[in-house]
């Protein structure tokens, strides 16, 4: 066999030239963990900060063990843990959508637990915990998955552990495998799940009456799990936005080359507009919709269409017959009349689930149960939008906004409006949805380092005997500090599935945040003429490798775009 065909065969199973090289990429660790090659577990102590939410009393009543144990106190690293126990058996799982860097959390965990403790992978996600599907993670596994993207090492799913039977199965899994601790790597819903699990498993699980510790790790490309300076961003956001940034930059470059197209690009990110805002800050397109702004200004669908149509007409007047419109995935839920419709739809679907499932004409079934205004609005929407508004909610009760073709709806409506303004205005548009292509790319240096240190932090919390906390790393432009956030200090009550539930609130874009203010200060100039830039491919080596998300740098008051861990 020739050398080239040998080389090509060796590349199979995640061994491309890039993947092989990236496994050897050294990862910096926060000073608290000591040596980068042999990181040490840290002990934790109360930092002096205590968290609370408006529903604190109900939380304390429903999560008595967790609240009593943590006092909702934020923990800070307090030196190397010289008394770390041995023989701990820890299970780790991914939960929810994939995000770059998840494998490095597992690697950090394994490294800090060391050879004296055992790490098990749960396959796939919470469902694997219910079914008891565990396997021991080896050093060879870690060498293979480090710095690689995706969640494929363990797989993931969106099962919400909620029934008595499911909780009993989880307990059985813990007992059968003598599990001492579970690490849940997930977003807001999954960390809410982790809080519930921590309370359920707090004590009385094992024969000696002791419990099973539960630690959460903040993941989601959406960027909607943020807690001020305690959690400036969840992992996966940087990689996803840099991948989208490169693609949007390429499309912008095409618009100015071919000189005849508008591109309406919807960006994943669920409800919040963090992803869209970050990509806008990276690329500077003509138009950026921000869902939270639309809600604040109470803009109707017609008003949004009018704004875009006018911007197109003004550019055409200047001879610029092209541009890019960035659209947040969840924008539809923020348009007041659509929001009212979706809320009523959610209630109808939750309360008539069986009849709805059996109904032949689902739209007619629902319309008959809506208020007159909402029924009229539903009837006015194109069939491709109605179908998705009526599609199954996910197991956490969320509308699957990624399935709603908002970009197509806007193109169709803008086209119709431009015809009314002046039939001679040229308008040719393409639609894109950038979502899944950003979730599993190889982690950026930021995400690779951040997640490895999150794994070290989660493992340290377990060895320090903690439960009901979310691991975090703060001060990302000043070396990085491992900390722990009490999950019960984040819980509020929200209406989901037609009933009140404890949830960690999604962090939306704040209108007065420095990142939003910056976008507002530049948006008109970006609409008036082409000022875009192309961030290019993400770099693991080279000048852009150390760049953190622009919105995170702005919002955390950083002095430059450079992150510094270690």
- Footprint of ligand FBP (CB under 6 A): 96-97, 99, 187, 220-222, 268-270, 329, 401-402, 439
CB 149 to ligand FBP: min, Å: 14
Residue identified by tokens 């840290």 is: 42
Helix (H) or strand (E) holding 306: helix 301-317
Compute how many other C-beta atoms are within 10 angstroms of the C-beta atom of residue 204: 13
Residue 392 designated active-site? no
**CB nearer ligand FBP, residue 41 or residue 98:** 98
**Using CA atoms, how far apart are residues 417 and 270, in angstroms rounded to an integer?**
28
CB 356 to ligand FBP: min, Å: 21
Q: Is 507 helix (H, G, I), strand (E, B) or coil?
A: coil
- Inter-residue contact 226 to 277 (CB < 8 Å): no
Please, what sign has the CA dihedral across residues 239, 242, 246, 252? positive
**Using CA atoms, how far apart are residues 459 and 105, in angstroms rounded to an integer?**
10
**CB nearer ligand FBP, residue 396 or residue 466:** 396
Q: Which residues contact 280 (CB under 8 A, 6 or more apart)?
A: 288, 326, 519
Selecting among 180, 189, 222, 477, the annotated active-site residue is 222
**CB nearer ligand FBP, residue 321 or residue 402:** 402
**Using CA atoms, how far apart are residues 379 and 372, in angstroms rounded to an integer?**
11
- Inter-residue contact 280 to 519 (CB < 8 Å): yes
**CB nearer ligand FBP, residue 32 or residue 183:** 183
CB 95 to ligand FBP: min, Å: 7
| The token pair that represents 252 in the structure block | 């912008």
**CB nearer ligand FBP, residue 187 or residue 459:** 187
CB 565 to ligand FBP: min, Å: 22
| The token pair that represents 47 in the structure block | 């930092």
Q: Is 487 helix (H, G, I), strand (E, B) or coil?
A: helix
**Using CA atoms, how far apart are residues 287 and 315, in angstroms rounded to an integer?**
11
| The token pair that represents 138 in the structure block | 């080896």
CB 97 to ligand FBP: min, Å: 3
CB 400 to ligand FBP: min, Å: 7
**CB nearer ligand FBP, residue 284 or residue 439:** 439
- Inter-residue contact 456 to 482 (CB < 8 Å): yes
CB 220 to ligand FBP: min, Å: 3
What spatial distance separates the first Cα and last Cα of the chain, rounded to whole Å? 46
CB 503 to ligand FBP: min, Å: 13
Please, what sign has the CA dihedral across residues 244, 250, 252, 255? negative
| Residue 79: C-alpha distances to residues 32, 82, 503 (Å) | 7, 9, 33
Q: Is 504 helix (H, G, I), strand (E, B) or coil?
A: strand
**CB nearer ligand FBP, residue 244 or residue 264:** 244
CB 104 to ligand FBP: min, Å: 16
CB 275 to ligand FBP: min, Å: 8
Torsion region of 498: left, alpha or beta (phi above 0 gives left; psi -120 to 50 gives alpha): left
**Using CA atoms, how far apart are residues 120 and 561, in angstroms rounded to an integer?**
37
Compute how many other C-beta atoms are within 10 angstroms of the C-beta atom of residue 384: 12
Compute how many other C-beta atoms are within 10 angstroms of the C-beta atom of residue 264: 24
**CB nearer ligand FBP, residue 221 or residue 378:** 221
**CB nearer ligand FBP, residue 180 or residue 188:** 188
Residue burial 142-167, b: 16+ Cβ < 10 Å; e: rest: bebbbbbbbbbbbbbbbbbbeeeebb
- Inter-residue contact 250 to 256 (CB < 8 Å): no
Please, what sign has the CA dihedral across residues 264, 267, 270, 276? negative
**CB nearer ligand FBP, residue 268 or residue 327:** 268
Q: Quote the DSSP letter at residue 391.
A: S
Would you name the residues annotated as active-site residues?
Answer: 222
């Amino acid at each position: 066999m020739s050398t080239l065909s040998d080389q090509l065969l060796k590349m199979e199973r995640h061994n491309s030239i890039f993947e092989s090289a990236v496994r050897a990429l050294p990862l910096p660790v926060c000073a608290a963990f000591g040596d980068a090659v042999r990181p040490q577990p840290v002990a934790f102590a109360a930092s002096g900060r205590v968290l609370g939410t408006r529903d604190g009393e109900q939380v304390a009543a429903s999560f008595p063990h967790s609240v009593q144990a943590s006092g909702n106190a934020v923990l800070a690293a307090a030196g190397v843990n010289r008394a770390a126990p041995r023989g701990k058996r820890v299970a780790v799982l991914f939960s929810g959508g994939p995000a770059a860097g998840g494998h490095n959390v597992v690697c950090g965990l394994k490294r800090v637990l060391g050879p004296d403790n055992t790490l098990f992978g749960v396959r796939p996600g919470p469902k694997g915990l219910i079914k008891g599907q565990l396997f021991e993670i080896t050093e060879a596994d870690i060498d293979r998955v480090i710095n690689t993207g995706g969640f494929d090492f363990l797989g993931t799913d969106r099962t919400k552990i909620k029934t008595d039977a499911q909780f009993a199965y989880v307990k059985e899994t813990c007992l059968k495998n003598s599990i001492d601790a579970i690490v849940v790597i997930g977003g807001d819903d999954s960390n809410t799940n982790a809080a519930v699990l921590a309370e359920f498993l707090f004590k009385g699980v094992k024969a000696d009456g002791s419990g099973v510790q539960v630690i959460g790790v903040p993941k989601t490309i959406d960027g909607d799990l943020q807690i001020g300076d305690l959690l400036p961003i969840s992992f996966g956001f940087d990689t996803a936005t840099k991948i989208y940034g490169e693609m949007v930059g390429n499309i912008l470059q095409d618009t100015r080359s071919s000189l005849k197209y508008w591109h309406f690009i919807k960006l994943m990110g669920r409800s919040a507009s963090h992803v869209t805002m970050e990509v806008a800050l990276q690329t500077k397109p003509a138009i950026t919709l921000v869902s939270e702004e639309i809600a604040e200004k109470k803009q109707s669908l017609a008003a949004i269409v009018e704004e875009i149509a006018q911007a197109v007409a003004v550019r055409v007047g200047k001879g610029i017959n092209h541009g890019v419109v960035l659209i947040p995935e969840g924008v539809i839920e923020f348009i007041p009349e659509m929001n009212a419709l979706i809320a009523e739809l959610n209630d109808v679907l939750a309360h008539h689930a069986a009849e709805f499932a059996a109904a032949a004409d689902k739209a007619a079934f629902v319309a008959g149960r809506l208020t007159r205004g909402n029924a009229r609005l539903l009837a006015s929407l194109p069939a491709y939008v109605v179908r998705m508004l009526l599609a199954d909610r996910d197991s956490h009760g969320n509308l699957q906004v990624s399935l709603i073709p908002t970009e197509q709806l806007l193109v169709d409506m803008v086209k119709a409006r431009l015809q009314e303004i002046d039939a001679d205005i040229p308008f040719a548009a393409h639609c894109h949805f950038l979502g899944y292509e950003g979730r599993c790319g190889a982690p950026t240096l930021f995400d690779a380092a951040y997640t490895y240190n999150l794994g070290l932090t989660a493992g340290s919390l377990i060895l320090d005997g903690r439960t009901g906390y979310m691991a975090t790393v703060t001060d990302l432009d000043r070396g990085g500090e491992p900390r722990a956030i009490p999950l019960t200090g984040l819980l509020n009550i929200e209406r989901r599935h037609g009933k009140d539930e404890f949830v960690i609130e999604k962090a939306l874009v704040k209108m007065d945040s420095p990142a939003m203010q910056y976008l507002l200060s530049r948006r008109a100039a970006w609409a008036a003429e082409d000022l875009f830039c192309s961030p290019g491919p993400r770099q693991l080596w080279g000048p852009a490798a150390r760049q953190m998300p622009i919105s995170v740098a702005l919002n955390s008051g950083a002095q430059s775009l450079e992150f510094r861990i270690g």
